[in-house]
Amino acid sequence: MSTTEETETPMAAADLLPTGNLVDSGAEAADNVAEPTPADLLPVGNLVDEAQPAEEAAADDQATEVEVIDEEALLAPDDGEPAPKPESAYDRPGNWYVVHTQSGYENKVRKNLDARTASMNLEDRILEIVIPMEDVVEFRNGKKVTVAKKMFPGYLLVRCYLDDASWAAIRDTPGIVNFVGAGGKPSRLGRREVETFLPSADETAAEAPVKAKARLGFDTGDTVRVKEGPFADFSGEIIEINVDQLKVKVLVNIFGRETPVELEFSQVAQL
């Protein structure tokens, strides 16, 4: 029996190459690609933000935070130093002395001493002459009135450099009796005394309102008579005084029993 064998024809190397004109196709594709412009060479995206240093980014984040304003810091002095202390009359040049004058003539005596100081050219020795004053609350016809009163009637305060010339000028001024001091020798005032008699302007302004001394004509513990009202002609002891409300509490004996009664200032009188 004969067998028919099919003989395969070996493939040539050329047959393995792809068909078509590859070289021409590649050249044609290269010709069709547009030449890139400078703009096309730039990277896509915001590279400036991405390349921002971490320190600058952190600073930007802090800048976006809400700023908290310290009101106390704004109100405080820029230099941070404390407010200056008010000037004390005691620290002024010279020393303070008390001069005894004729009572009721304090203003006239002060004018006489001012004139004498100027006529004798002693302005650099006798520096200041003061009549100490105070605010006093008085009650007139049941109404509270604040008036200025002399703190020490019959006395002046004189700030000076005391020597023979200034001493003679002050001592021989009409209306002046003498300096106040032990054995006739002038005694200068200490700091506490000066600052009590002559408080600084800032200290006076700081008191709101200025505390004034009340002169009522009577005091706690005094016995008064009720002038009007349901307890007229009763008498009793004052146990409390209310200056702001212009009232007093009087311990009145009613039917053998002591009872506190509140009355207006105008309703009572001293016995």
Tell me: pLDDT of 26 over 70.
Answer: no
Residues 169-192 have a mean pLDDT of 88
> Does residue 193 share a domain with residue 114?
yes
> Does residue 223 share a domain with residue 179?
no
Instruction: Tell me the pLDDT tens digit for each residue of 219-228.
Output: 788 899 988 8
Instruction: Tell me the pLDDT tens digit for each residue of 146-158.
Output: 888 888 889 999 9
Instruction: Tell me the pLDDT tens digit for each residue of 158-177.
Output: 999 999 999 999 999 999 99
> Does residue 221 share a domain with residue 171?
no
Band (236; pLDDT cuts 50, 70, 90): very high
Tell me: pLDDT of 92 over 80.
Answer: yes
Band (117; pLDDT cuts 50, 70, 90): very high
Beta bridge partners of 188: 97
Domain membership of residue 160 (yes or no) is yes
CATH number for position 117: 3.30.70.940
Q: How confident is the prediction for the chain on average, in pLDDT?
A: 74
φ/ψ region of 22 (left if φ > 0, alpha if ψ in -120 to 50, else beta) reads: alpha
Structure tokens at 212: 């004034």
Distances from the Cα of 108 to the Cα of 7, 16, 99, 163, 174, angstroms: 160, 142, 14, 24, 9
- Provide the residue range defining the domain that includes 259: 217-270
> Does residue 136 share a domain with residue 226?
no
- How many domains are there within the chain? 2
What strand order describes the sheet that includes 176-179?
126-130, 155-160, 95-101, 176-179
Tell me: pLDDT of 260 over 70.
Answer: yes
> Does residue 234 share a domain with residue 126?
no
Q: Looking at 213, 233, 248, which one is the last position of a domain? A: 213
Distances from the Cα of 260 to the Cα of 82, 217, 226, 234, angstroms: 51, 20, 13, 12
Is 31 strand, coil or helix?
Answer: helix
User: According to the model, what pLDDT value does residue 80 have?
Assistant: 54
**pLDDT top residue among 198 and 52:** 198
Instruction: Tell me the pLDDT tens digit for each residue of 56-75.
Output: 545 455 544 445 555 555 45
> Does residue 240 share a domain with residue 208?
no
Instruction: Tell me the pLDDT tens digit for each residue of 118-132.
Output: 999 999 999 999 999
In whole angstroms, what is the distance from residue 101 CA to residue 98 CA? 10
Determine which helix (DSSP H) or strand (DSSP E) holds 143, and give its type and residue range: strand 143-150
